[in-house]
């Protein structure tokens, strides 16, 4: 009997001290695990910084991670063992009639304490990436931060996002081991719309959902995933007019799908009697004969106060660099008239626009010009220092955030060649905002060929027009 008492006392003594050891061990484990989690969450930065040691660094991480997992698993096993022991001991002492009630009470507390500790350690254990996850996350062919495809239910999205390793496991001619198809990060916030967009049967006809696609793009889901269905086109497509006619003639109505527009033909868009027909900034853009044909041919109306106009003619701008301007981009919303007039000067202009309320892209294409379906969210798909000119009108007006304007202007600067022209055509904003916007344009430090501010007459003198033709300087020493 005495022997049992001594034994139980030793056990109780141990039981008192063990929680302290366990606590200390737990503190250590949690701190190590937190560090590991930090590594796991920011592998991008780590691999950026250590890209030269990529393999070995990731390898070390992998070993540390697996060792830690083993340690924590051992700790969990030991706590389980201890709890079982204590329970058995309690059962023994309660069966013995002379058992001390206080010993049984403290034992119960220890068991409860250990159960607490166990749940904490187990939660850390669960947060640790498993062997497989860690291995996969560190694999160069695996996207960081887990598999983005997991976010989506639709199989086509998963399939699209998944990195496609090259056949035979070799590098392709571009020097990559796989093909990395990407989607805009805002797609994740627009899961429902994207899943609706990707809801189709492979090889079948897609839904008539270009508006949904455009909504996704405008809201940052850009690039959109590709689809494996046949897009809907006009039912009966008629060959476009020859180029000597198409530039200045309203196209055949049958060559456009009108389902999602208010107007159902080009005459409706061109007419000045149809109310609220297309995009409010470009209500007369389809009226080629009256509204569009005079644009950029002559200087605009002279403002009597300033004796200046914000509407320059193409001729006076091309005179700045005779014979040098051959290719360029028009970032506007319109029907391609600027590109048409430039074409007559033997200058090739690509017109970037989206379909806001009217089929602008189809119209430009049917006129025989090149439409570029592009939102303002995207980096321009041109290489550095390639274009002779960028022209913009009715697009970057007083609505645009100044930081965004900065990013846009620097991107334009990137694609303009040295000596290329940036033509800001009738940028308008509130008078009080003008100096902020001007700062953004001045920050480019371009040579000013034209720089004009005139009051905008139609809105109780609160707004102004700003137009400029600026030349990108060569930057030989930078």
Ligand X SMILES: *[C@@H]1O[C@H](CO)[C@@H](O)[C@H](O)[C@H]1NC(C)=O
Please state the φ and ψ torsions of residue 38, each to the nearest 5 degrees: -60, -45
102: CB partners within 8 A, 6+ apart: none
**Of 19-27, 51-59, 107-115, 284-292, which part binds ligand X (CB under 6 A)?**
284-292
Site track for ligand X across 110-149, x = CB under 6 A = ------------------------------xx--------
**Alpha helices of 96-139 — where are they, by DSSP H?**
101-127, 131-138
Question: Residue 332: which H helix or E strand, with range?
Answer: strand 327-332
* Element (DSSP H or E) covering residue 165: strand 164-165
- Those residues whose C-beta lies under 8 Å from the C-beta of residue 54, and which sit 6 or more positions away, are 47, 140
CA-CA distance, 87 to 97, in Å (whole number)? 17
- Binding residue (CB under 6 A) for ligand X from 3, 167, 170, 192: 170
For position 88 contacting ligand X by CB under 6 A, the verdict is yes
Cβ proximity to ligand X: between 135 and 188 the closer is 135
Q: Which is nearer to ligand X, 290 or 457 (CB)?
A: 290
- Please state the separation of Cα 188 from the chain's center in Å: 10
Of 62-70, 165-173, 253-261, 429-437, the window that binds ligand X (rule: CB under 6 A) is 165-173
Rule CB under 6 A: choose which of 14, 42, 81, 92 binds ligand X: 92
Which one of residues 70, 80, 109, 290 is an interface residue with ligand X (CB under 6 A)?
A: 290
Q: Count Cβ atoms within 10 A of the Cβ of residue 15 and give its class: 0-12 exposed, 13-18 middle, 19 or more buried.
A: buried
End-to-end CA distance of the chain: 91
In the stretch 301-320, what mask flags binding to ligand X with x, by CB under 6 A? ------x-------------
Site for ligand X in 229-248 (CB under 6 A): 242, 244-245
- Does the footprint of ligand X cover residue 171 (CB under 6 A)? yes
Question: Does the protein bind ligand X through residue 348 (CB under 6 A)?
Answer: no
Q: Which residues contact 448 (CB under 8 A, 6 or more apart)?
A: 468, 469, 470
Q: Is 270 among the residues that bind ligand X (CB under 6 A)?
A: yes
Instruction: Rule CB under 6 A: say whether 52 interacts with ligand X.
Output: no
Using a 10 angstrom Cβ sphere, with 0-12 exposed, 13-18 middle and 19 or more buried, the burial of residue 17 is exposed
Of 51-59, 148-156, 205-213, 282-290: span binding ligand X (CB under 6 A): 282-290
Report the interface residues with ligand X, using CB under 6 A.
88-89, 92, 140-141, 169-171, 177, 242, 244-245, 267, 270-273, 287, 289-290, 307, 345-346
């Amino acid at each position: 009997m005495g022997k049992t008492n001594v034994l139980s006392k030793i056990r109780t003594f141990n039981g008192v001290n063990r929680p302290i050891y366990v606590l200390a061990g737990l503190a250590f484990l949690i701190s190590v695990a937190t560090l590991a989690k930090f590594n796991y969450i920011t592998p991008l930065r780590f691999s950026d910084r250590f890209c030269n040691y990529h393999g070995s660094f990731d390898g070390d991480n992998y070993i540390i991670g697996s060792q830690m997992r083993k340690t924590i698993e051992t700790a969990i096993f030991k706590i389980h063992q201890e709890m079982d022991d204590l329970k058995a001991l309690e059962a023994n002492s309660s069966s013995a009639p002379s058992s001390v009630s206080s010993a049984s009470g403290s034992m119960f507390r220890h068991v409860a304490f250990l159960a607490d500790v166990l749940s904490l350690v187990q939660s850390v254990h669960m947060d640790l990436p498993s062997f497989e996850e860690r291995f996969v996350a560190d694999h160069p062919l695996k996207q960081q931060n887990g598999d983005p495809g997991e976010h989506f239910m639709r199989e086509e999205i998963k399939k699209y996002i998944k990195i496609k390793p090259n056949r035979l496991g070799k590098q392709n001619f571009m020097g990559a081991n796989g093909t990395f198809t990407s989607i805009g990060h805002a797609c994740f916030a627009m899961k429902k719309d994207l899943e609706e967009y990707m809801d189709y049967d492979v090889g079948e006809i897609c839904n008539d959902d270009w508006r949904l696609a455009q909504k996704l793009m405008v809201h940052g889901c850009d690039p959109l995933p590709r689809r494996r269905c046949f897009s809907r086109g006009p039912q009966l497509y008629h060959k476009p007019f020859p180029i000597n006619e198409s530039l200045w003639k309203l196209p055949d109505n049958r060559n456009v799908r009108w389902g999602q527009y208010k107007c159902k033909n080009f005459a409706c868009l061109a007419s000045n009697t149809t109310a609220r027909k297309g995009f409010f900034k470009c209500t007369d853009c389809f009226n080629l004969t009256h509204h569009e044909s005079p644009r950029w041919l002559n200087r605009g109306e002279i403002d009597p106060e300033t004796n200046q106009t914000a509407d320059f003619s193409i001729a006076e701008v091309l005179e700045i660099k005779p014979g040098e301007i051959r290719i360029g981009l028009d970032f506007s919303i319109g029907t391609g008239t600027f590109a048409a007039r430039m074409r007559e000067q033997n200058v090739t202009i690509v017109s970037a626009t989206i379909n806001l309320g009217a089929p602008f892209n189809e119209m430009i294409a049917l006129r025989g010009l090149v439409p570029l379906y592009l939102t303002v969210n995207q980096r321009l798909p041109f290489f550095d220092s390639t274009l002779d000119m960028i022209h913009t009108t009715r697009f970057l007006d007083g609505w645009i955030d100044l930081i965004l304007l900065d990013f846009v202007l620097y991107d334009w600067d990137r694609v303009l060649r040295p000596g290329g022209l940036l033509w800001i055509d009738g940028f308008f904003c509130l008078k009080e905002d003008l100096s902020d916007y001007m700062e953004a344009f001045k920050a480019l430090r371009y040579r000013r060929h034209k720089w004009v501010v005139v009051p905008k007459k139609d809105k109780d003198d609160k707004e102004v027009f700003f137009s400029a033709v600026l030349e990108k300087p060569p930057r030989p020493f930078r």
